[in-house]
Structure 1
Amino acid sequence: MKPVLIVYYSRSGVTAKVAAALAQACGADLERIQDVRPRTGVTGYLRSAWQALRRQPADIAAPEHRPADYLFVILGTPVWAGRMSAPMRSYIRQQREHFRRIGLFCTMGGSGGADVLTAMAELCNKLPVASMSLRQRDVLSDAYMPTLAGFADELAVVRDSEAAAKA
């Protein structure tokens, strides 16, 4: 088993692209949060914004991986109406007692990343070992790769120092 699990939700594929690149950089297992109800089309978009604004959780499928089995769980979400996605809110509420250490990331079309990262950390009741927020345009143009590499390096430093302390 790998020491890192990346759990993400992605409606449009932008957050999924970051999660996949980060999994490759960290040698991590990857888990996509599965929404029970589709969020396609205009109604799906409006429901997503409405749930985010009201801080409502969403119905999600049971996860395949157990976060307690990992040294780090990295959580990734899109920013919806300045808030974390409803499926990520549900996942954190269901699994937070199983997180040892967390890392956080978000993707956004506009702004609100810092607030979303803070809200995620508060909901987890843990300080992240590393965090990053990325703009959608940077992800689509691959201009985010240096930021992603720095994030992966931060995680590696903490992982390696914990491994050395246990040795």
Structure 2
Amino acid sequence: MDPCLIVYYSRSGVTATVARAIAEVCGAELEALRAVQPITGVPGYLRAAWQALSGQPAPIAPLRHSADAYPLLLLGTPVWAGHMSSPIRQYILQQRPYFRDVALFCTMGGSGGASVMQAMAGLCQREPLATLCLREQDVRAGRHVDAVRDFAASLALRRLQRGGADGQAAGQQAPLQTPASSAPGGSAVSGSAP
């Protein structure tokens, strides 16, 4: 697979676990986002919930990797009150002019993953090559491994079908459809048909 970068925010470590698993399967580099204001304790949790609900981005620490150096970005977030995390929102707003292909993943306590994937795709102004939604309980129990492999396989297939980074000019994409299919462990993996 072409060089890719996984950019994610993880407050509790669940999304980080998924990001590392995807990186292992895809051979990707990792960029863990850090909020400038730590999201800890009750005040941090309430601020984060308000930012997520109101669609406010949260300032993030300087980045180690440049988005424009990667033909494929995989963006990951926890679901907060049915919304993407405010640090990933900030990253997308800050870096989206440099996005080429994207894939998206999220972790959630219960539900809301599909709407978060849709909101992230809209904010990225890109149709994702693949999406993955996992429940926190499945990740903590180690039941996410098969879904991660399916996600990586779907992503590799889509990149191959599209000719990888060389098949499209930077920033251009063919229109995609994204039918979702169920994956083991209560997760959902979707890819796009050619």
Q: What letter is aligned with 2:126?
A: K
C-alpha contact 2:71 2:165 (8 A) present in aligned 1: no
2:35 corresponds in structure 1 to: 35
**In the aligned structure 1, how far is the partner of 2:105 from the partner of 2:166?**
27
SS at match of 1:95: helix
Q: What letter is aligned with 1:46?
A: L
2:176 corresponds in structure 1 to: none
Matched, 1:132 2:132: yes
TM-superposed CA distance for 1:164, in Å, is 9.9
TM-superposed CA distance for 1:160, in Å, is 3.2
**In the aligned structure 1, how far is the partner of 2:40 from the partner of 2:95?**
26
Question: Could you tell me the TM-score, scaled by structure 2's length?
Answer: 0.82
Q: What letter is aligned with 1:157?
A: L
- For these two proteins, the number of residue pairs brought into alignment is 165
Question: Could you tell me the TM-score, scaled by structure 1's length?
Answer: 0.95
1:12 corresponds in structure 2 to: 12
String of CA shifts for 1:93-142, please: whole Å, max 9, x gaps: 00001011000000000110000000000000000000010000000001
C-alpha contact 2:14 2:107 (8 A) present in aligned 1: yes
Q: What letter is aligned with 2:57?
A: P
1:46 corresponds in structure 2 to: 46
Query: Larger % of helix: which?
Result: 1
Q: What letter is aligned with 1:160?
A: L
SS at match of 1:49: helix
Report the identity percentage.
Answer: 55
RMSD between aligned alpha carbons? Answer: 1.4
**In the aligned structure 1, how far is the partner of 2:166 from the partner of 2:14?**
36
Listed as ranges, the gaps of 5+ residues in structure 2 are 168-194
Structure 1 segments, 4+ long, off by >4 Å, are 163-166
**In the aligned structure 1, how far is the partner of 2:150 from the partner of 2:49?**
31
Listed as ranges, the gaps of 5+ residues in structure 1 are none
1:123 corresponds in structure 2 to: 123
2:65 corresponds in structure 1 to: 65
Q: What letter is aligned with 2:31?
A: E
